[in-house]
Amino acid sequence: MIKPIHLKIGDKVAVVAPSSATDLKSVQNGELKVRALGLEPVMFPTCYTNYGHLSAPDEERARDINNAFRNDDIKGIICLRGGYGTPRILDMLDYDMISENPKVFVGFSDITALHVAFNQICGLTTFHGPMATSNYAKIHGERVDFESYTYESLVKNLFSDAPMGIHKNPNEEQLKSYCRGLGEGILIGGNLTLLTACMGTKYEVDTRDKILFIEEVSEPIYKIDRMLTTLALAGKFNHCRGVILGTFTGCEREKKAYEGGFDLPLEKVIENTIVPFGKPVIYNFKAGHSFPQPTLPLGTWVKIDADSKQVIFTESGVKCN
């Protein structure tokens, strides 16, 4: 794995929209947030266009990403927002060129498909973290007030090579666990819907000897069950060294037609689909579609201890470019 050179104050970073579109005010606020981080945002064309449920046709969205990696003046890439669209451009990216031009790459949600592709095909460490339009700052005119936990985690990851060390949840919330024991390996994963959407393709997540991170938003529990079962049937929990379960924001039990009927609780679904594999599992890990939000360095080495309920990020197994 190659960890790209960390950012410095004043660096130019590309802001691209590889998924869905957003309104102009959100784009302008996103530009303000990136600038308030001490970076010089270069807003790429897809930030200002829309094409139905996408920000632009596939070729244009892929072109922005390829051009951002190809441009020597650009030191990092921050996605504008998620939504939907990244699986459609996976075959259009120049992975050889991207491998030769490793750069900081940040995003989450629909950006999961790009994370997995860059991690596995390019051997590139990427960052699962807030995007330009994410809700981690308040805008007051030209002033940007960042939420401290999200800001500090993002800055530590993007502007430093120092490992994160022992993970701490926001608001002193405690990690929880299933099973027992220690698991360690390279961290991979992201949004559950995107992980399952790429199953059966050459971009399918490879969990062998890795720690699998999973999060989701606004899906009923029975759909969570279906997607986790898909991963289980594909051997993803059998092959991994451990699992980190992030936030499942807005994932509620759906009411059924029969009297008093509801989906199973999420905890029971986890017990049915993941726990039987006997791998150490950390849950209540506050990362995903929730704020405060930590930035996670995907493609770096992580240790999870289900006995002491700890997650520790180290630099073992990673080299800097």
- The residues that are catalytic are 109, 215, 289
The mean pLDDT value for 109-134 works out to: 98
pLDDT band at 156 (very low <50, low <70, confident <90, very high): very high
pLDDT in the model for residue 260: 86
pLDDT tier for residue 142 given thresholds of 50, 70 and 90? confident
Domain 2-158 has CATH 3.40.50.10740: yes
Task: Give yes or no on whether 2-158 and 165-320 have one common fold.
Answer: no
**pLDDT at residue 24, rounded to an integer:** 98
| C-alpha distances out from residue 167 to 213, 248, 284, 311, Å | 14, 19, 12, 6
List the CATH code of the domain at 165-320: 3.50.30.60
pLDDT above 90: residue 259: no
How many CB atoms lie under 10 A from the CB of residue 178?
A: 18
How many Å apart are CA 2 and CA 216, to the nearest integer?
27
Question: Which residues partner with 311 through β-bridges?
Answer: 304
The domain limits of the chain are: 2-158, 165-320
pLDDT tens, 261-275?
Answer: 999 999 999 999 999
What value does the mean pLDDT take over residues 301-311? 97
Instruction: Report pLDDT for 321.
Output: 44
Q: Which residues of 201-222 are buried (b: 16+ CB within 10 A; e: fewer)?
A: eebbbebeebbbbbbbbebbbe
pLDDT higher than 90, residue 318: no
Average pLDDT score over residue span 121-144: 95
pLDDT digits (tens, 9 = 90+) for 3-61: 999 999 999 999 999 999 999 999 999 999 999 999 999 999 999 999 999 999 999 99
Give me the mean pLDDT over the 207-232 stretch.
98
pLDDT band per the 50, 70, 90 thresholds, residue 317: very low
Average pLDDT over every residue of 110-133: 98
Query: What pTM value is reported for the model?
Result: 0.96
Look over the chain and give the mean of its residue pLDDT values, rounded to a whole number. Answer: 96
| pLDDT at residue 319 tops 80 | no
Q: What value does the mean pLDDT take over residues 221-243?
A: 98
Handedness of CA 54, 58, 60, 66 (dihedral sign): positive
